[in-house]
Amino acid sequence: MDMYNDNEVLCASNAYEKKFYLNENFERLPEDIKKELKIMCVLFTEEVGGILSLEYEADGTLIFKTEADESDLLYDDIACGMLIKKLQYEKRELLESLQMFYKVFFLGEDA
């Protein structure tokens, strides 16, 4: 991950190490949401490879961030972009709820 990145990482999946990470700051999320995040992220990295992280920008916007090793010949930027768009559409309600959660509980905004 980028050491100069000021974003708050919600979770990440790494195809190279076969690991999923959920930021401990988000442990109070309901179990079904944590499970859905894990399934979504792991399936994503199994399909296109690389590393996927869901991160909150300073204003609370939740973004998908991907990266891949230069030597990863199987990583497909085009498929990656298409899958992100698909997830943003299919998981719109979940992603909007996660943004609202962050804005209320971490940024102190009104619901």
pLDDT of residue 2: 46
Q: Is residue 110 part of a domain?
A: no
| CA-wise closest residue to 95 among 46, 36, 30, 14 | 36
Q: Is residue 1 part of a domain?
A: no
pLDDT of residue 1: 44
pLDDT of residue 42: 97
pLDDT of residue 4: 57
Mean pLDDT by 10 residues, the chain (111 residues): 74 97 96 97 94 96 95 88 96 97 94 74
Domain that holds residue 94: 8-105
Q: Is residue 64 part of a domain?
A: yes
Question: What does pTM read for this prediction?
Answer: 0.91
Domains: count for the chain: 1
DSSP letters spanning 57-82: -TTS-EEEEEE--TT-TT--HHHHHH
